[in-house]
Amino acid sequence: MADEPPLQALLAETAFTPLHTDWLATRERELSQRLAELALGRRLNVLLLNATKGIQLFPSIVDFFVTLRRLKPGVRVVSSSYFEDIHELSRGVRDKGLTVVPISDVTGWTVDVLNRFDLVLAVGPSYALMHLMETKDLRARLVMLDLAFYHQLIEATRGGFLSGEENPRRAAQRNPVITYSCQPEAKVRRDLRGLFELERFDFRWFNYIPVGFRYARYCRSDRWFYDAALLGSSGRAYHLLDPVALAGLRFLFLGEIERVPELERLRSTLDVTVVPRIDEDDYARLLALCKSVVIPLADRDNVLLSVVDSLAAGKALLASRRPGFARLEAEGAPITFFSTSSELSSALRDFSADDALLDRTRDVAIAFTRTHLDIYRVLEAIVKAELG
């Protein structure tokens, strides 16, 4: 975190309580009960193929399959990850009892070896998934879990993937991939069309980026200090903050304000504290000090981690309606949507003035997150559909 003595003093003087920690044992117990009742009926071999860097989600996926394997002895799970230098994605997986093999082994296996697996669950698109799609006579079922992270492809193409780089071998991709995605269909198709033969993709949908609760940090504070957090800079429409209507409110911006010139200008009128660099623990604590989170978006269809963090932290979330929110809205997520500056100002002042409303919103947001945004629920749906 930047060296700001008043802010550090504020954190030191505030009592913080972890959120969700006291629920984790219940979560694991209920998962075990549901998986124990799952009818699989035969021996099954699963290959996990990780192309993401996050140390919240893939470790949660590993935990899920460790539990499944414990309850269903006929299930065998092998894990392979591109990012072997990250302990939680490689050696940490082996420490949990799964067999771990290098990606180079997977891409070097013969089709006979690959066909020993009933299911290949690719966590994120990757070159290895392309290789499996090209493999002749492959019988293993290919399933991709798209969490909106493209770490391997971005690194492998040095960013060319993001500019629509064409894959000359795309036509060789013959094997179908059942794809579970949290993104709007138009976006995921736009992202993948340069490298993958999309006619081979059979899309299924879940609501949003999920939460790996055991590895996530959220907390509650014994007081609020800021009226609203402003999270992120890319694709934001901070011009919707009306300096006159929001006068007297305190804002906390987490990010590089140099990338948001309209917000830089508003600092001369609004009370905006800026924290440009922050670690995960301080991020959770600073978010806890805010009554609400404001995410004004331009015309973007992205799904955003800041949305997940806000709901999981029990914040009142105010956002402009965009395609990425559609499934959350359909499921009744506690998000206050606005389209104009006056709507935003009115809603933000309502939350800022009513502590009881904030308490109710917190409870609803936390309950919604546990029910609708748990990575375990996504994985259960995949296992039931693809292995049941």
Q: Give the C-alpha separation, 56 to 174, whole Å.
A: 32
330: exposed, middle or buried (Cβ count in 10 Å: 0-12, 13-18, 19+): exposed
Confidence of residue 5 (pLDDT cuts 50, 70, 90): very low
The whole model's pTM is what? 0.94
Instruction: Name residue, tokens 């071998």.
Output: 169
**Per-residue model confidence (pLDDT) at position 160:** 82
Q: Is the pLDDT of residue 117 over 90?
A: yes
pLDDT tens column, 86-98? 999 999 999 999 9
Q: Is the pLDDT of residue 286 over 70?
A: yes
Quick check: 328 and 232 in contact, CB under 8 A? no
Q: What is the torsional sign of CA 321, 322, 328, 331? A: positive
Percent of the chain with pLDDT over 70: 98
**Per-residue model confidence (pLDDT) at position 2:** 42
Transcribe 120-186 into DSSP letters. EEEES--HHHHHHHH-TT--SEEEEEE-S--HHHHHHHTTGGGGT---TTGGG--S-EEEEESS-HH
Quick check: 74 and 43 in contact, CB under 8 A? yes
**Per-residue model confidence (pLDDT) at position 41:** 67
Q: Answer whether 5-19+216-353 and 22-212+374-387 agree in fold.
A: yes
Q: Give the C-alpha separation, 158 to 136, whole Å.
A: 29
- DSSP character for 319? E
Residue 299: both structure tokens together? 């015309």
Mean pLDDT of 234-261: 91
49: exposed, middle or buried (Cβ count in 10 Å: 0-12, 13-18, 19+): buried
Transcribe 55-89 into DSSP letters. TTHHHHHHHHHHHHHHH-TTEEEEEEES-TTSGGG
Please indicate whether residue 132 or residue 2 has the higher confidence score (pLDDT): 132
Q: How many CB atoms neighbour CB 167 within 10 A? A: 17
Mean pLDDT of 154-160: 88
**Per-residue model confidence (pLDDT) at position 1:** 41
Q: Which residues pair with 252 in a beta bridge?
A: 229, 273
What is the identity of the amino acid at 159? Answer: G
CATH code of the domain made up of 5-19+216-353: 3.40.50.2000
Instruction: Name residue, tokens 């509650």.
Output: 220
Looking at domain 22-212+374-387, its CATH superfamily turns out to be MTH777-like (3.40.50.10160)
Q: Is the pLDDT of residue 226 over 70?
A: yes
Q: How many CB atoms neighbour CB 360 within 10 A? A: 13
Instruction: Name residue, tokens 């947001």.
Output: 365
Domain boundaries, the chain: 5-19+216-353, 22-212+374-387
Please indicate whether residue 233 or residue 35 has the higher confidence score (pLDDT): 35
Mean pLDDT lowest among 35-44, 74-83, 131-140, 329-338: 35-44
